[in-house]
Chain A
């Protein structure tokens, strides 16, 4: 008998002919996630199995692998050969403190000679015989003893199911570029899109000397924290100082943020071209701040129309975003109090409902192409 961890995938079932592609990527992601553990990961029909691990690592493996997008649930299971005598013997020796139970047989191996229903009853009888105070309860029993008879001629016996993070395998939904400010929202937005299978690369704008190396390190740390889910991440840091200074010098102060956002979108578009990303992702939430009103979003969307802008937090309250941020482990880092490039040069009265015409007029005072090209020449790219 071997202890194994049985991994079940979620939505992949829906993916018809592409199922193989999704399964291969998911297997790769699981292996990447568990690379620091001494164990094997294999694919069997309809399941993945983690085998040959040290029992001491079992909980750590579960904690880690339950973060892999695309997995719906997992269970610790005893693996035995599919042999009626062996299975019967195992169940006959099964001891439990539970007061009520049921046996569920999943007969994926259709060559197994007894039907699921019949076998459930037979095995239930063994449990009753060995545990005098227990009763059968088919709905909501205290203990559900599941016997999975798989095609690989192995049978898996388990009692508990741990819910995993769900979503789609990371890397199966194209690539997106997230604007990472260092605040609470953008890591949450990254997580949400990554959960839908989108590979994430990060773009951070920094304004040295108005912002510090600490602020940049904070963003790197956030990107690193996201790799718990993504495995790896490319982070691109783009200098924004000169652009902010020029806006500050030439444009109406209330348009500072509006024009910054428009230039950020243009830079993001060029980086998407270069890195073959197919969408821009932001952490915006409607009406959270002046730059996140529907009018402001319209004006910033106008700056580039090549790529869709995904805003997964758009309909969420701050507290909802914070809850996710805490759940995914980025909150503590997000609230470190370093200036981010949006807080420098903050106007006293930013325009809340900017008109596109006015924004374009203000922006025409700048040599935008030259500013953008200068910034692009100084990109720093990190693999975190």
Chain B
């Protein structure tokens, strides 16, 4: 089987799995406990935070909050930062549902929420952003890498624009598809809040984290025993946290991985030869969004599945809904949207797998065209 749906999730790596087992069976103690075992687990969590913040290019300074995943981290970033004094909140129209739907919810509750358009290449429209920025804007959330297209937004440019028009606004970025895949330096990006997740980088599901530059920015949205600086109560998911750390330790070299994945993508695309398809965005090599005319992307996904190659139609999180907000907002026609598929690679994808998948997609496409003649 060739798995090319790594943007949806990844298998847990051996190192992370071993850690998960170890901290679930041997070192299972509650980190809030005052005996030695608890204290020791607590300091292990600290070391995990250190590892993750370092991977984000910043120093650890009690500035990372573990959550049940990226969805919760995004909710915490937005709802936890929200104040009644907020005049306006800005989001990109291409955000993941765990940001976009929070924005819609706030809008429903009467908050002034606006959305920044996308360019045809999937990046946000910086001119539209600049037009929408003014001193009224209190909060901005723009993702770093888009989960459906791989488009990379220039968050540093967003930061500079923010400083020009509304320096006090809080800047959040969903970094789920960027973390472990492209070089990140949160100081350079200028974000106040940044979301990451473990299961996209060979860690376990059910664990994510929110980087927070200044904890005063956040009110809790979950109350309880006061864990995670009182911002996210609940007994720490120690096994998953430590496995998250192991997954980060196991990244390897980001630049080497990036180059390898780029080669995979080139090899894959090379096999598509004469097929007339549209590459919807070509930023992060990890995510490749293609559109075919005259066919249904879902049919291609199933034909590939039959040949043991797993790809996706749009993002897994939105495949239960018809249409595709992101591609539509990039200006794709209905036919192009319907005919879109997403292939997402990982550092573990081999060139052979990529070639095989490309060849198979070529065959499936031609077979389908023939069957629909």
Q: Which of B205-213, B236-244, B259-267, B295-303 contacts A (4 or more CB under 8 A)?
A: B295-303
The complex places the Cα of A334 from the Cα of B321 at a distance, in Å, of: 14
Q: Indicate if the CB atoms of B320 and A210 lie closer than 8 Å.
A: no
**Known contacts A209-B306, A249-B373; A337/B321 CB under 8 A:** yes
8 Å CB contact of A210 from B299, B305, B321, B373? B299
Q: Indicate if the CB atoms of B302 and A209 lie closer than 8 Å.
A: yes
Q: Indicate if the CB atoms of B372 and A248 lie closer than 8 Å.
A: yes
Say yes or no: is B85 at the interface (Cβ < 8 Å to chain A).
Answer: no
B1 to chain A, nearest CB (A): 15
The complex places the Cα of A209 from the Cα of B371 at a distance, in Å, of: 12
The complex places the Cα of A212 from the Cα of B372 at a distance, in Å, of: 17
Q: Which residue of B lies closest to A242 (CB)?
A: B371
8 Å CB contact of B299 from A209, A213, A249, A336? A209
Within 8 A of B (CB), among A271-327: none
8 Å CB contact of A212 from B298, B371, B373? B298
- For A337, list chain B residues within 8 Å (CB): 320-322
Say yes or no: is A208 at the interface (Cβ < 8 Å to chain B).
Answer: yes
B298 to chain A, nearest CB (A): 6
Q: Main SS of chain A's interface residues?
A: loop
Within 8 A of A (CB), among B316-373: 320-322, 371-373
Q: Indicate if the CB atoms of B320 and A336 lie closer than 8 Å.
A: yes
- For A249, list chain B residues within 8 Å (CB): 373
B5 to chain A, nearest CB (A): 14
Q: Indicate if the CB atoms of A210 and B296 lie closer than 8 Å.
A: yes
Within 8 A of B (CB), among A180-221: 208-210, 212-213
The complex places the Cα of A210 from the Cα of B301 at a distance, in Å, of: 10
Q: Which residue of A lies closest to B302 (CB)?
A: A209
Say yes or no: is A81 at the interface (Cβ < 8 Å to chain B).
Answer: no
The complex places the Cα of A212 from the Cα of B313 at a distance, in Å, of: 12
Q: Indicate if the CB atoms of B298 and A339 lie closer than 8 Å.
A: yes
- For B373, list chain A residues within 8 Å (CB): 249
Given A245-B372, A337-B321, A339-B298, 15 additional A-B pairs, CB 8 A = A208-B302, A208-B306, A209-B298, A209-B300, A209-B301, A209-B302, A209-B303, A209-B305, A210-B302, A212-B298, A212-B301, A213-B302, A249-B373, A336-B320, A337-B322
Which residues from chain A sit less than 8 Å from chain B, CB to CB?
208-210, 212-213, 245, 248-249, 336-337, 339
Q: List 20 A-B contacts (CB under 8 A).
A: A208-B302, A208-B306, A209-B298, A209-B300, A209-B301, A209-B302, A209-B303, A209-B305, A209-B306, A210-B296, A210-B302, A212-B298, A212-B302, A213-B302, A248-B372, A249-B373, A336-B320, A337-B320, A337-B321, A337-B322
Nearest 7 CB-CB pairings of A with B = A209-B302, A209-B303, A209-B299, A337-B322, A210-B299, A245-B371, A208-B302
